[in-house]
Structure 1
Amino acid sequence: MSSLLALSNSLADTVEQAGSSVVAVNAGTRVSPSGIHWRNGIIVTSDESLQRYDDITITLSNNRTAPVTLIGHDPSTDIAVFKVENVELPVAKIGDVKTLKVGHLVLGLARSSEGDLRAAMGAVSVVSGAWRSMNGGNIDQFIRPDITLYSGFAGGPLVDAAGNVVGMNTSGRRGTALTIPTTTVDRIVNQLVAKGHISKGYLGVGMQPVRLPNNLKTALNLSSATGVIVVNVEPSGPADNAGVLLGDVLVTLDGANVSDTGDVLALLNGSDRIGKLVKTQVIRGGVLVELDIVLGERSSKED
């Protein structure tokens, strides 16, 4: 048997094995996104691909269907989690995303609403550190596979050459493929299964970026040329209770520089600081004022 034929047969076997845990998610869209049987009774898919969260079914192999119910979703990481019961379906073999290297062969898998398994092959083109999505979600690794994300492939798995699922595929800018790594998916699944929503820190302010005059930056020994001005303060909210005023310019939160609203969202996007004091520096009347804000909690249900 030639090496090329052996590789082809091996890839087909990998697709068949890994694809047994891939489903189609029927949610009223023209093209059904795919989903992954992540854990026993837990289906993961792309949140942005859904038009609704009720009356949803999944299509398995052989065109079998089953109803699912929403556990929770997190738009900031593009992850929606559903529960399925009384269905015999193989669970995905979750791999270690840290083993991925640029150049590794990978497969994007999907299932059509008719139950057909589909695959696209490519290589890992980019692997880098943590990043923040446009919706403020913290993603543990930036992974860009060089695969074509055909219709219905969003929400499906990225599979390595050993047949391990290393993430969930989603669309980036201009339709390019991005992969949410398994570590991020696991973290979101854990929170949604436990609480039904993603807890996020809450300040209770409206903000917009503002450029700092050079003389003020020099006088206050600030490293950033921009800050975030408070344009609205919610009565009795965390910031209001701490004494934040309209016109204050936030320059540090919890010791980190604040140069735009994204910096604030990154700090709030998580539950580790909820209920804790966050030391805050603001510019008020040309001088630095230090405030202690006890962060409140806002769930993704309120987004």
Structure 2
Amino acid sequence: MISASFHTPDRTQIGLPTADGELDLRDAEVIGRDPGTDVALLRVTSAGGGLTPAKLRELDGLAVGNLALAIGRPGRSARASLRAIGVLGPELRTPHGGKLDHYIESDRQIPRGFAGGPLIDADGAVIGMNTRTLLRSTDLAVPVATLRRVVAELQQHGGMRRGYLGVGAYPTKGGALIANIEDGSPAQTAGLLVGDILTELDGVAITGPDSLRNALGDRAGQTVSIAIQRGGVAQTVSATIGTKS
């Protein structure tokens, strides 16, 4: 089962609606979470009947103005909130280093208690998971494509593997100034030096530590081109990005 990482304790109870409108409470535990996309993966640990998987839908064919239904359970009763799709956005890097393949924004704020619940289309298919914590003052739905990718990683590793360069940096004019380099890190292997200014990573502009973290994102294991300024001279180095959970 999938829920919002920010709102889900490591061990919890989940309520499954029954045909007579009651809730079947089951024990569950978190087996992986990704703060970068606000996704938590849960395993139901108590006995009971089988669960029916929800029908999932990618964004193909969806359009701004389509009706959607947000589902939540702020108390013992399930609630629904009708809305229209306001934005179908492109790829988005979150402040916590995650990547949304796309993002969905509806025309209304998500009510309290709806985070982690599904956003469904007019045919009852899940098109995303509601979240309130990824971007300040903006409620989004994490699309199915991202949920599939993140869940597969959580099932296998228990967390998302993030790109790791091994530098400490702070913002400066034109990029991120390297203040320290970890021994044995990809940065050291690539020949980066303290005092270098990182300006681009594979064509992505670097303006400080946050943009560097976002640029590294899910590039673990990839060899990338890093543009730097060293002593006022522009240079380019190659680095193989490491992995950090």
Q: Scaled by the length of structure 2, what TM-score is found?
A: 0.89
**Alpha-carbon offset, residue 112 of structure 1:** 4.3
In 2: Cα distance, 1:284 partner to 1:175 partner:
39
In 2: Cα distance, 1:281 partner to 1:122 partner:
45
Partner in structure 2 of residue 130 of structure 1: 91
Query: What are the residue-to-residue correspondences of 1:1-303 with 2, within 5 Å?
Result: 43-50=1-8, 52-53=9-10, 55-61=11-17, 62-85=22-45, 86-87=47-48, 88-114=50-76, 116-171=77-132, 176-211=138-173, 226-270=174-218, 273-299=219-245
Deviations 1:159-192 (A, max 9, x none): 1111111000011556543111111111100111
Residue identity in the other structure for 1:274? A
Q: Which moved more, 1:188-197 or 1:252-261?
A: 252-261
**Alpha-carbon offset, residue 128 of structure 1:** 2.0
Deviations 1:269-293 (A, max 9, x none): 11xx433432323211121233232
3-state SS, counterpart of residue 267 of structure 1: helix
Asked whether the 8 Å contact 2:197–2:230 carries over to 1, the reply is: yes
4+ residue runs over 6 A deviation: none
Asked whether the 8 Å contact 2:91–2:99 carries over to 1, the reply is: yes
In 2: Cα distance, 1:96 partner to 1:180 partner:
11
Q: Which moved more, 1:151-160 or 1:226-235?
A: 226-235
Query: Quick check: which has more Rg, 1 or 2?
Result: 1
3-state SS, counterpart of residue 213 of structure 2: helix
The verdict on how the C-alpha distance between 1:290 and 1:126 changes in structure 2, with shifts beyond 3 A counting, is closer
**Alpha-carbon offset, residue 123 of structure 1:** 0.8
**Alpha-carbon offset, residue 64 of structure 1:** 1.8
The count of residues paired between Structure 1 and Structure 2 equals 238
The verdict on how the C-alpha distance between 1:259 and 1:279 changes in structure 2, with shifts beyond 3 A counting, is same
**Alpha-carbon offset, residue 155 of structure 1:** 0.4
Q: Scaled by the length of structure 1, what TM-score is found?
A: 0.73
Residue identity in the other structure for 2:146? T
**Alpha-carbon offset, residue 259 of structure 1:** 3.2
Asked whether the 8 Å contact 2:228–2:235 carries over to 1, the reply is: yes
- Which structure shows the bigger proportion of residues in helix conformation? 1
Asked whether the 8 Å contact 1:44–1:80 carries over to 2, the reply is: yes
Residue identity in the other structure for 1:46? A
In 1: Cα distance, 2:138 partner to 2:167 partner:
35
In 2: Cα distance, 1:119 partner to 1:236 partner:
52
CA RMSD of aligned residues (A): 1.9
